[in-house]
Amino acid sequence: MKRFGGILLLLSVGTAAAYASGTASSVSLGMLDATARESLVAAWEAEARGDSAKAARLALLVATPQTVRVRVVHEDRMGGEEFNALLEDALAEWEAANVSFVLTESACLEPHLTIVFRKRVQGVRGPIAGKTTSHRTVTADGALSVRTTIEIATRSPFGCRLSESAIRKTILHEVGHFMGLRDVSDPRDVMGPILLGGSNDARLEERHMQAILQLNTEVSRLTRLSPSPIVEDPAYRRPVVFIFPS
């Protein structure tokens, strides 16, 4: 969140410097959110101590499933087809990071990702453009359980309908949090804020894709360190809030 920007920046710089000579040099730590970064660094520390099981467990907590099951909920009934089209377009962009998104209505398979379109999304200090809340757990047999909800606002804090570009950018942004990316202040970046009354025609760039590809490649390497079942250790990712600029 914006008010912690200075602290997160210091953590990012310090961590990158500490691990630049090792495995971390292949991972864009500065683009990751605090939770993903902290878990990954803790995994490297466990690996350095020879604790392969802990390293694998910590790494798995920041992994993105290669095939993500998605359920869509429309609480704002106006514009459902339009929102679906924007969602499909945004998810297709993210698939360049070697992740597949599959829409499901099955009652038998729990979705990894539930995306809710509603008129307003409430934050701690008022209306916000979107919010991602993800619960991640590594089970006793070493499987990753992911239950994430992304809430997308379809109206501005003033009650006006948001533009297609604003909603599309919010989807790209929140899925970026699901994948492990942090907020930035540049509104031209998909991980930056929404501009009310301004252009929101942001697109994913190669650096976004590379950050996720590098993260998932490193997670894959770390999880292969432990051939035995991983001890259960529930962990929850903190909500990442996308705030309307004041």
Mean pLDDT in consecutive groups of 10 residues from the start of the chain, 246 residues: 24 27 65 92 94 90 92 85 94 94 82 95 89 86 86 91 94 96 94 87 94 93 75 50 51
Are 182 and 242 spatial neighbours (Cβ–Cβ below 8 Å)? no
Are 138 and 232 spatial neighbours (Cβ–Cβ below 8 Å)? yes
Distances (CA, A) of 63 to 35, 67, 77, 221: 12, 11, 33, 11
pLDDT (0 to 100) of residue 155: 92
pLDDT (0 to 100) of residue 17: 24
CA–CA separation, 66 vs 230, rounded Å?
20
pLDDT (0 to 100) of residue 37: 92
Q: From edge to edge, which strands make up the β-sheet containing 100-103? A: 100-103, 67-74, 113-118, 144-153, 130-138, 235-242
pLDDT (0 to 100) of residue 126: 86
Q: Both tokens of residue 18?
A: 């500490």
In this structure, the number of other CB atoms found within 10 A of the CB of residue 245 comes to: 13
> At residue 44, what are phi and psi to the nearest 5 degrees?
-65, -40
pLDDT (0 to 100) of residue 192: 94
pLDDT (0 to 100) of residue 221: 93
In this structure, the number of other CB atoms found within 10 A of the CB of residue 74 comes to: 16
Region label for 79, one of left (φ > 0), alpha (ψ between -120 and 50) or beta (otherwise):
left
> What long-range pairs does 73-79 form, CB within 8 A, spacing at least 24?
73/114, 73/115, 73/116, 73/117, 74/117, 75/116, 75/117, 75/118, 75/119, 76/117, 76/118, 76/119, 76/154, 76/155, 78/154, 79/154, 79/161
Provide the whole-model pTM.
Answer: 0.83
Q: Both tokens of residue 222?
A: 């770390």
Which residues make Cβ contacts (< 8 Å) with residue 161, sequence separation at least 6? Answer: 79, 154, 155
